Structure 1
C-alpha cells in the first residue's frame, strides 16, 4: 500500500517539474518544434509532388509567435520599425508566392536566436539574489535581558544584538562585550582573519569565527556596508546597457528602407518600365525574400555559440556573446589580489626554532596544539607539519583564546602559540628573541612561547598563483595594462606586485573604494575588465565594462561576473582574449559577406537576372556559408 501511494505521488512531482521546465524554456521549445516541423515538411516535399504547406504554416505559428508578438508590441510602444516586422513580412511574402519552406526557415532562425537571448538575460539577473543569500535575515536582539529573534530590517540604532561563534554578522556595529576573530575576507579582501575586541567595529556580512559577542548597532540595515554593496551592484547593472545603439539604429533604417523599396517596386515598375502587374508582384516578393536578414542574423549567432562552446570545453564560462565581444576592446584589467592573483590560503613560509628541541619535535608540539583550532593560520601550520613529520601527538590540555592564540600542554611543557600581543606573549622574551633571529618581512607571524620564554616563530603568507606572472606578461603583449586592487596594506600589496609583475596597484580598498577605483581606471585607460572572486569584488565586477570571476569564488561574484574561469587558471584569460578577437573578426567577415550577397541579389532582382529559386539559393547559400564560417570557432585556438 505504501509503495502504491508513493508511486501515485511521483506523476504529480514530475508534472510540477515539467510545468516549471516548460515555462522557463517555452520560447526555446517552440523554436525546436518549429524546426522539427520544417524538417518533416522538407522530407515530405521531397518524397511527393505536393507541398505540405499545413506543416510549414504550423511552423510559422509555433516558431514565429513569440518574435512576432515582440515585434508588434515594440512597434506599437516605441513607434519604430524593427527586424521582427521585416521577418513577418518576408515570411508571409514567401508563403504568398508559394515558397513556404524558405519562409519557415526564416521564422526558425529568428525564433532560435530570440530564445538564446532570453536565456542569457535570465542568467544574468541572478546576481542580486546571490548577494542577498549572504545577508542574514534575522538577528538576536537583547531586550531587557531577554533574547528576541527579529528581522534584520527591524533593527534600530543603539539596539544590542548577540552574535555566536560561526554566525554571520547581521548589522554594522561596535563590540560592547567579547573578543573574537572575524573573517572579513568577503567584505575587505583581507586573506587573514582579523582580531576584534571591545570598541572595535564589525561589518554586516562578515563571519564571527570564535567568540561570543554583544554588539551595538550603529547603522540601519539599509545603510550598512553590505547594503551599499547591493546598491552598487544594482546601479552598475542598470547602467550596463549593451553597446547596441548602432545596431538598433541600423535595424530601423534597414527595415524602413526594405519596406519602402518593396512598396515602390509594387507600384512604380508598371509605369516606369512597362512591367506587367504579375511580374511586378513576383519581383517584389523576390525582393522581400532576398532582402530578409537571415544571413545577417546567422552572421553572429553561430559564431557566438561556437565561441561559447569552445570556452566551456576549455574551462571558460561565458554568459553571453556581448561579453566576449567586449573583451576584444579591453585596454586594462583590474585584478583582485586575494583568491585571484594569490591562492587565498595562508601557507608557512618560515620556521624559526631557538629551543633545545629539534625542528621536528617542536613542530610536532605546535601542530598537536593547533590541530584543535579552526583558525586558518592554525590549519596552515598543521598542513605544514604533516609535510615534514610522520605523526602528530595528542596534547594534554588545549584552550583557545579568541583573537590572541591558543594555550596548550604537552610533555609537561606549557605552550602559548599566537600573535605578538603583550597580553598573551611575554614582551621582554619576545624582544630578546627578535634580536637573535632574522625574520622575513611581509609575513603574518605566529610566535611560540614555552614555559614563559619565546623559543620560536612561524611566518605565513598568502601564495601567488603559479600562472599569475605568466598571465600578466602575456596580456602585456596584447597591449593590456594590469592593475591590482586589494584590501591588504600597501607593504603586502607591493610584495605581490613585485612577484606578479602587475603594472600598478591600489591598496587598502574597501568594496565601494574598489568600484570608485574602477571608474578612475576607466578614465585613464578606457575600457576596463575586473577579475575577482569574493563578495567584496562584486561592486567592482559590476562597475567594470566586463566582469571576470574565478571559479572557486563566492556565488555572488560568480553570478555578477560576465565570464568565469572555472579552473582558476589565470592563463585562461589569455585564451579568452584570443577567442574574443577571433570571434569578432569572424563576425565582421560574416556581416560584410552577408551584406554583399544581399546587395548583389537585390540589384540582380531589380534588373531581372535572378528568379525566385536562384534568389533563394543565393540567399540560403550565403546563410549556410556564414554559419560554417562561424563554426570554425569550435576548433581549438
Structure 2
C-alpha cells in the first residue's frame, strides 16, 4: 500500500482490524487486489459484519479435508486400490493446507520463516517422503488450530467492536422550526438535538431543556443513571431513560468522548507491551535456528552415519512442527487485547500494553487530595473578620479576586457569594500565584488572597490569625486569607468532604498488594493529617507546591522504582508525567485527562483503581503463564524428537494444544469484574 502513488503513509492496527491511510486513498478495488493473495478484504466505513462461521473459507476447506481423510481411511480399510487412497489423502492435504501454504510460500521465498512457512515445509516434506496420511492429518489439524485461534481472537476483539457499534449513526436535530433525522457526520456544533426517552444520545453536548436520568455506562462504566437538567453535560452513547431532552451539540462526531475512547482503545491494542516485544525478538532468532537444526537432523545422520534418509527427514519434519512458535507468538497479544477491552467496558481506559504491565507491577501509589480523595467541591463553612466590619463586604472582595481563578477553593468562595446574593466586585490586573493564591486590584487598592504561606512570605502581621488557623486546621478545614502585606482582613474556612469510596478504595489497594499509598497535597499539615486518617492512609505530605509534588514523586520512584500518581489530569499533570503510571480521575468531562494520563478512570469512582490493579496483575500472570507454558512445551517436545519418540501426529497435537490453551487462558481476563 505504501508504494501506491499518492499514499504518504499506511498503518495497520491488527487489534482493531483497521487500516488508516494518509494521503490519496486508493480505491477499494485496488486495496482488495493487494490483499487478494492473503484473502484480506477491505471495507470502507461501516461493514456488514462477518459471515456466519460455518461459511468462512477456512472452515469449509478444513471440514472438506476432514471428510476426505475419513474417506481415505475407509478406502484403506476396505482394501480399495492404493492410488485411490493416496489421491484422497492428497486432496485432503491440499484443502487443509491451502490457506497455510498461501501465507507460507511467500515467507519461504523471502527467507522469512514464520509459523506458516514451517508448516508448509513440514507438509511438503511429508509428501516428498511418501507419508501421505501424516501430511493430510498435519494440514487438517493446523487448519483446525488456525480456525479456533481466529475464533478466540475475534472473541477478544469483540469487546472493542461492541464499543464501536454502541455509537448511534444518526440524530434528530431541530433547524429552524423543522426537526430532521440526519447522519451524525452532518450534525454541526451548535445544533439542537432532540432526544426522546429510551433513545441514545448521538453527540456530546449540554442540556438546554428538559430533565431526565441518563445511563452513561458506555462512557464511565457506571450503570446507575445520572440525573441531568439544563446546563448538565451529556455524552454520545449515553441512554436517555426518562424525560425528553433538548441538547446543544458541543463536539463533532469524530471528537465526541465515545469516539475518542474508541480511538484510544484501538491505539492501545496496537501498542506492543514489553513482554510482546521480547517474544517477537525471541521468535526472530528462534525460528531460523529451528530451521537450521531441522536441516542438520535431516542431512547429517544419513551423510555421516549412514542412517536411513526416510527416518532422518521424518524426525526433522516432526521437529519443525513441534518447534513452531504458534503458542509463543499468540501468548501476549490476546491477553493484552482481552484485558484492555474488559477495562474499557468497565469505564477504565488503559492506553497500551506497556501501561497495563506497569500498572500490574506498581508497589506504591500517590494521590492528590482535592478532587481525588475528596469530592473536589469544597464549601465555605465560616468567615472570621480581622479588619473588615461586615462579612458581606469581605466576601465581595474575596469573590472579586477568586472569580478569575479555576482552583476548587476559589470556586467555593464565588459559589458561596452567589448563594448569599452578594454582588461580586470588579477586579483588574489579576495575577495568579501558582500553589499560593492570587493578587489583583479591587476598588483601586491591591489585595491578595491565598494560603497562610503566601502571607507568611509577605511578612504580614499574623499574631491574631495563628490561633484561629490552628483551631480550624485541627478540624481538618482549609484556611484562605484575604488582605495585603500590611494586614489580614478576613479568613475563610473551607472544608472539602471525603469521597464515600476513598476509604474502601485504599483498603482494597492494600488487599490486592499495593504496599504503599501516599497523599500529596498543597494543604496544611493538620488538614492533611485529618483527611489521611479519614481515608485510612498512613503516609502523607503536606504544603506542597506543584513543583514539590514532582520532586516527591521522583523521590518515591527512587525508593519504590515503580509508582503511580492519581490526580485530576490538569493541576497534577507534571507529577503524573514523572510517575511510572499517570492515572487521571473523571476523564469523561476532561479532555486534558484523556490526553495526559496513561490510565483514565472515566467516572469519579476510586473503587475502579483496585479493579484496574487486579486486572493488570492478572494480565501479567497470564502472560507469564503463557510464555512459560509455551517454552516448556516446545523444549519437552524437541527433547522427544532425538530418541525418535515424537511422531508427526503427536507434534501437531502438541503444537495445536499449546496454542489453544494459551489463547483460552488469555480469554479468562474478560471475566474479571470490579
Normalising to structure 1: TM-score of the pair?
0.56
The Cα shift of 1:579 comes to 1.6
The Cα shift of 1:43 comes to 0.8
CA gap of 1:586–1:275, structure 2 versus 1, over 3 A, is same
The Cα shift of 1:294 comes to 0.9
Work out whether residues 564 and 580 of structure 2, in 8 Å CA contact, stay in contact via their aligned partners in 1: yes
Choose from 528, 544, 566 the match for 2:563: 528
Choose from 580, 584, 587 the match for 1:545: 580
Name 2:175's counterpart in structure 1: none
Rounded to whole Å, the distance in 1 between the matches of 2:521 and 2:621 is: 35
The Cα shift of 1:632 comes to 1.3
CA gap of 1:517–1:636, structure 2 versus 1, over 3 A, is same
Q: Structure 2: where are the runs of 5+ without partners? A: 1-5, 20-33, 42-54, 69-90, 126-134, 161-271, 431-437, 452-461, 484-488
1:611 aligns with 2:643: no
Choose from 319, 333, 340 the match for 2:365: 333
Choose from 599, 613, 617 the match for 2:635: 599
1:93 aligns with 2:116: no
Q: Structure 1: where are the runs of 5+ without partners? A: 1-17, 73-83, 121-239, 409-415, 422-429, 449-453
Q: Which shows bigger deviation, 45-54 or 582-591?
A: 45-54
Work out whether residues 330 and 659 of structure 2, in 8 Å CA contact, stay in contact via their aligned partners in 1: yes
Cα displacement string for residues 77-122 of structure 1 (whole angstroms, at most 9, x for unaligned residues): xxxxxxx745464244245346667778779979x99xx99xx9xx
CA gap of 1:93–1:103, structure 2 versus 1, over 3 A, is farther
Task: Report how many residues are paired.
Answer: 459
Choose from 601, 612, 624 the match for 2:660: 624
CA gap of 1:538–1:244, structure 2 versus 1, over 3 A, is farther
Q: Which shows bigger deviation, 563-572 or 458-467?
A: 458-467
CA gap of 1:489–1:306, structure 2 versus 1, over 3 A, is same
Rounded to whole Å, the distance in 2 between the matches of 1:293 and 1:629 is: 17
Pairs within 5 Å for 1:262-277: 262-270=294-302, 275-277=307-309
CA gap of 1:321–1:513, structure 2 versus 1, over 3 A, is same
CA gap of 1:435–1:616, structure 2 versus 1, over 3 A, is closer
Name 2:207's counterpart in structure 1: none
The Cα shift of 1:570 comes to 1.9
1:465 aligns with 2:499: yes
Work out whether residues 364 and 564 of structure 2, in 8 Å CA contact, stay in contact via their aligned partners in 1: yes
CA gap of 1:476–1:461, structure 2 versus 1, over 3 A, is same
1:399 aligns with 2:426: yes
The Cα shift of 1:566 comes to 1.8
Rounded to whole Å, the distance in 1 between the matches of 2:283 and 2:582 is: 28
The Cα shift of 1:265 comes to 1.1
The Cα shift of 1:248 comes to 7.2
Rounded to whole Å, the distance in 1 between the matches of 2:503 and 2:468 is: 35
Name 1:281's counterpart in structure 2: 313
Choose from 63, 88, 97 the match for 1:46: 63
The Cα shift of 1:549 comes to 2.5
The Cα shift of 1:471 comes to 2.2
Rounded to whole Å, the distance in 1 between the matches of 2:121 and 2:540 is: 60
Q: CA RMSD in A?
A: 5.6
CA gap of 1:593–1:518, structure 2 versus 1, over 3 A, is same
CA gap of 1:375–1:562, structure 2 versus 1, over 3 A, is closer
Rounded to whole Å, the distance in 2 between the matches of 1:45 and 1:599 is: 29
Cα displacement string for residues 415-450 of structure 1 (whole angstroms, at most 9, x for unaligned residues): x999599xxxxxxxx9999999997235244779xx
Name 1:302's counterpart in structure 2: 334
CA gap of 1:108–1:61, structure 2 versus 1, over 3 A, is farther
CA gap of 1:486–1:420, structure 2 versus 1, over 3 A, is closer
Work out whether residues 287 and 324 of structure 2, in 8 Å CA contact, stay in contact via their aligned partners in 1: no
Name 2:599's counterpart in structure 1: 563
Rounded to whole Å, the distance in 1 between the matches of 2:360 and 2:119 is: 36
Cα displacement string for residues 156-196 of structure 1 (whole angstroms, at most 9, x for unaligned residues): xxxxxxxxxxxxxxxxxxxxxxxxxxxxxxxxxxxxxxxxx
Rounded to whole Å, the distance in 1 between the matches of 2:596 and 2:344 is: 18
Work out whether residues 298 and 626 of structure 1, in 8 Å CA contact, stay in contact via their aligned partners in 2: yes
Rounded to whole Å, the distance in 2 between the matches of 1:578 and 1:432 is: 51
CA gap of 1:496–1:319, structure 2 versus 1, over 3 A, is same
CA gap of 1:558–1:250, structure 2 versus 1, over 3 A, is same
Rounded to whole Å, the distance in 2 between the matches of 1:372 and 1:545 is: 34
Name 1:481's counterpart in structure 2: 516
Rounded to whole Å, the distance in 2 between the matches of 1:22 and 1:443 is: 54
Cα displacement string for residues 189-238 of structure 1 (whole angstroms, at most 9, x for unaligned residues): xxxxxxxxxxxxxxxxxxxxxxxxxxxxxxxxxxxxxxxxxxxxxxxxxx
Pairs within 5 Å for 1:83-482: 85-87=113-115, 89-94=117-122, 96-97=124-125, 242=274, 251=283, 254-255=286-287, 257-270=289-302, 275-350=307-382, 373=403, 375=405, 379-381=411-413, 383=415, 398-400=425-427, 402=430, 419=449, 440-441=472-473, 442-445=477-480, 458-477=492-511, 478-482=513-517
CA gap of 1:545–1:608, structure 2 versus 1, over 3 A, is same
Cα displacement string for residues 107-140 of structure 1 (whole angstroms, at most 9, x for unaligned residues): 9979x99xx99xx9xxxxxxxxxxxxxxxxxxxx
Rounded to whole Å, the distance in 2 between the matches of 1:471 and 1:586 is: 24
Rounded to whole Å, the distance in 2 between the matches of 1:308 and 1:245 is: 17
* Greater length-normalized contact order (CA 8 Å, ≥ 6 residues apart): 1
Instruction: Classify the secondary structure of the residue corresponding to 2:652.
Output: helix
Work out whether residues 294 and 320 of structure 2, in 8 Å CA contact, stay in contact via their aligned partners in 1: yes
Work out whether residues 601 and 610 of structure 1, in 8 Å CA contact, stay in contact via their aligned partners in 2: yes
Normalising to structure 2: TM-score of the pair?
0.53
CA gap of 1:101–1:337, structure 2 versus 1, over 3 A, is farther
Rounded to whole Å, the distance in 2 between the matches of 1:262 and 1:516 is: 56
Work out whether residues 262 and 284 of structure 1, in 8 Å CA contact, stay in contact via their aligned partners in 2: yes
Cα displacement string for residues 386-415 of structure 1 (whole angstroms, at most 9, x for unaligned residues): 8xx7xx7696x953465568989xxxxxxx
